[in-house]
């Protein structure tokens, strides 16, 4: 049973790391120099869940398929003169989900064993 679930988690990570699905919208900034054209984006891109900002061009929904990309860092948050954002790698989210699943199944098995002995 665990082997099948492990394969399911791995396949989910590979599929989600191969797909891009983002939405970008116009979000101008107001600063001391005046209004600046700016875009915000949210979605799944290059193997990571992303919320980021960038300079034009942009806007709309973007989709795509490619070979799996597994970012080396589990997460990143940064800002700079040309944008910034928060990136969380799909493999990291999959690992967290798998660990939580293992802990819950271990706990269920332990509780069931305790009930059998009493």
Write out the H or E segment, with its range, that includes residue 45.
Answer: strand 39-45
> Can you give the pLDDT at residue 92?
95
Question: What is the rounded CA–CA span in Å between residue 29 and residue 82?
Answer: 13
- If you count DSSP H runs as helices and E runs as strands, how many of each does the chain have, helices first? 2, 8
**pLDDT tens column, 88-114:** 999 999 999 989 988 998 999 899 998
Question: Whole-model pTM?
Answer: 0.79
**pLDDT tens column, 42-94:** 999 999 999 998 888 888 999 999 999 989 999 999 987 667 899 999 999 99
Q: Which residues of 63-82 are buried (b: 16+ CB within 10 A; e: fewer)?
A: eeeeeeeebeeeeeeeeeee
Q: What contacts 93, CB < 8 A, 6 or more positions away?
A: 49
Note whether 87 and 45 are within 8 A (CB): no
Region of residue 47 (left: phi > 0; alpha: psi -120 to 50; beta: else):
left
Tell me the three state secondary structure of residue 61. Answer: strand
């Amino acid at each position: 049973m665990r082997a099948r679930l492990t394969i399911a988690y791995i396949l989910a990570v590979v599929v989600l790391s191969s797909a891009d699905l983002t939405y970008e919208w116009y979000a101008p900034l107001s600063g001391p120099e005046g209004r600046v054209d700016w875009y915000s984006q949210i979605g799944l891109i290059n193997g990571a869940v992303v919320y980021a900002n960038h300079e034009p061009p942009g806007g709309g929904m973007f989709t795509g398929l490619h070979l799996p990309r597994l970012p080396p860092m589990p997460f990143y948050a940064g800002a700079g003169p040309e944008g910034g954002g928060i990136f969380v790698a799909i493999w990291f989210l999959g690992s967290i989900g798998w660990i939580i699943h293992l802990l819950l199944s271990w706990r269920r098995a332990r509780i069931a064993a305790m009930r059998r002995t009493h």
